[in-house]
Amino acid sequence: MVAHVGLISLSASLPSMPCLPRIGFTKRRPFPMAALSDDPVQEWILTEGKATQITGIRPVGGGCINLANRYDTDAGSFFVKTNRSIGPSMFEAEAIGLDAMYETRTIRVPKPFKVGPLRNGGSYIIMEYIEFGSSRSNQSVLGRKLAEMHKAGKSDKGFGFPVNNTVGSTPQINTWCSDWIQFYGEHRLGYQIKLAQDQYGDSTIYQNGQRLIKNMAPLFEDIVIEPCLLHGDLWSGNITSDKNGEPVILDPACYS
């Protein structure tokens, strides 16, 4: 008998680097980039964001590599992340991942609005502001919503994603591949253990990892693995709930 399984998203367990309508993965339009100005965030909010005034800017905690702020306006609130040392490509990939999950209309994610460069270096992303609730969300509801997202986000291009992205600030390669074992071995385990060896000189992890990659195939005998949209960096810090108690997932590193 052949078993059918969906895929779950796991964060990397190696030492960390510095601290659609239904998704068929056709060619996606680039996420809209803002023109450079003295303050492109406020410029967008006061034009395309439909606000006539910004009534307050407050820092929001929780991140470790980006600065986060809530912008309150007469047109509602916006959530803005900035990073003075990284160009727009990281936030561009995040926006594409958020948009892919948002378009499944299954689990709640903040809708991305704009990505662009800052005047003196770095970049920003503007997205929907979600008022969080006091609890982390019901785990059974979270599991059901994730399963719905996986079903709605089937990929007909195989395993991968239209763009490379990052887990935190660590690069993640998403080149399309028709075989899950090859994709996971080369672009997940293989790439991560090579980063660990290059940064920390840990040949033991590298050798053990290569041995695991070479012996993965028997673990998946008689199992059909279907490519479907994954969050890609799903851990407790990227899961919360809105004020109604519905689960919300954040900061993706999507792939299928």
- State the pairing for strand pair 3-5/223-225: parallel
Catalytic residue numbers? Answer: 233
pLDDT tens readout for residues 133-171: 987 778 999 999 999 999 999 999 999 999 999 998 899
- The predicted pLDDT at position 65 comes to 87
Q: Which of 9-23, 63-77, 97-111 has the highest mean predicted lDDT (pLDDT)?
A: 97-111
Q: Phi/psi at 78 (nearest 5 deg)?
A: -125, 150
Residue 22 has pLDDT above 80, yes or no: no
Q: Which CATH class is domain 40-135?
A: alpha beta
The residue type found at 42 is Q
Could you tell me the pTM of the whole model? Answer: 0.83
Q: Where are the domains of the chain?
A: 3-18+137-225, 40-135
Residue written as token pair 């662009």: 116
User: Can you list the positions of beta strands (E) in the chain?
Assistant: 3-5, 54-59, 67-73, 76-83, 112-117, 123-128, 165-167, 170-172, 223-225, 239-241, 247-249
